[in-house]
Amino acid sequence: MNPLLILIPTVLLAQSGVTTPSIGFILDRTGGIRPVSGLAGNFLVQRSVLNGVLSFSCSSSTCVAKTENALAASGASFPAPSGPALISLDAAGAAVYFRQTGQFARLENGALKMLDVNVPGEVLAVGAGLRIAVRRENGVWIVGSSGSILDSLPPDTQAVLLGSDSIVYATANELALRRSGGIEQRFPASGIRDVYAVSDEWVEGCARFATFALRTAAGREALYVLPEPAGRPRR
């Protein structure tokens, strides 16, 4: 017995029935946030939609960007300590670390709240649940807000992105994706100095001579090179 009556399928054009696929947003070398559309290996980098950005993080539904003196999110702007910030989005909001002042903060429910957390070492990333990647003399560690060591990364780690169920980190010659089960995939990529979340499934790796896009979706992991925005020479 058929339990359902299936009606005629309809493409909902008015509700984005057929649209240009979106990859997410990237931060270009001049501090511009640019939408990226297309598919894996077939990227189109669009014009900048926000300039003067020092660092950022995007999920598939929202972005948080740090400008010189503010944190911009969902059309709102929050006064913030100057300089770049490490940002990690999660389901409820964003964990933020202001590098110049060494302050941790939480952006949630339309408010930016400074946290009383002090972790020794050079903070490389913050993540959900206030996990913190920190470089110390004896290595690179992932610690909790209380300082308890949760994991470690290679000593030559240059940049880290702590996702909810994965860690992306860059060494001198590789970009690595570590799953929560500890399984790692490594991709050759030299000179990555910063990593940013582009969307839920993509991570941007910024190197001096190239901008990489790492697809982190399970089963589709691959590293690509993003086209440089046209007309802008490499520095």
- Of the pair 11, 91, the CB lying nearest another protein is at 11
Instruction: Examine residue 188 and tell whether it contacts another protein (CB under 8 A).
Output: no
The DSSP 8-state label assigned to residue 63 in this structure reads E
Question: Can you tell me the distance from the alpha carbon of 186 to that of 170, in angstroms, rounded to the nearest whole number?
Answer: 9
CB of 13 to another protein, least distance (A): 6
- Of the pair 151, 200, the CB lying nearest another protein is at 200
- Of the pair 8, 91, the CB lying nearest another protein is at 8
Instruction: Examine residue 8 and tell whether it contacts another protein (CB under 8 A).
Output: yes
Instruction: Examine residue 224 and tell whether it contacts another protein (CB under 8 A).
Output: yes
Instruction: Examine residue 16 and tell whether it contacts another protein (CB under 8 A).
Output: yes
Question: Can you tell me the distance from the alpha carbon of 45 to that of 233, in angstroms, rounded to the nearest whole number?
Answer: 15
The DSSP 8-state label assigned to residue 172 in this structure reads S
Question: Can you tell me the distance from the alpha carbon of 87 to that of 95, in angstroms, rounded to the nearest whole number?
Answer: 6
Instruction: Examine residue 227 and tell whether it contacts another protein (CB under 8 A).
Output: yes
Counting Cβ atoms within 10 Å, is residue 143 exposed (0-12), middle (13-18) or buried (19+)? buried
Q: How many residues bind another protein (CB under 8 A)?
A: 44
CB of 27 to another protein, least distance (A): 15
Residue where the block lists tokens 């990555």: 192
Residues β-bridged to residue 63:
58
Give residues 22-61 in contact with another protein (rule: CB under 8 A). 22, 37-45
Q: Identify which range of 20-28, 58-66, 86-94, 131-139 contacts another protein by CB under 8 A.
A: 20-28
Question: Can you tell me the distance from the alpha carbon of 178 to that of 165, in angstroms, rounded to the nearest whole number?
Answer: 9
First vs last Cα of the chain: how many Å apart? 66
Out of 116, 188, 231, 235, which residue is the one contacting another protein (CB under 8 A)? 231
| 38 phi/psi in degrees, rounded to 5 | 110, -155
Are the C-beta atoms of 83 and 54 separated by less than 8 Å? yes
Question: Can you tell me the distance from the alpha carbon of 86 to that of 119, in angstroms, rounded to the nearest whole number?
Answer: 14
Q: Identify which range of 68-76, 89-97, 178-186, 224-232 contacts another protein by CB under 8 A.
A: 224-232
Are the C-beta atoms of 190 and 181 separated by less than 8 Å? no
Out of 11, 14, 183, 218, which residue is the one contacting another protein (CB under 8 A)? 11
**How many angstroms from the chain centroid is the CA of residue 192?**
14
Instruction: Examine residue 164 and tell whether it contacts another protein (CB under 8 A).
Output: no
Instruction: Examine residue 21 and tell whether it contacts another protein (CB under 8 A).
Output: yes
CB of 210 to another protein, least distance (A): 7
Residues that bind another protein (CB under 8 A): 1-13, 15-22, 37-45, 209-210, 217, 220, 224-232, 234
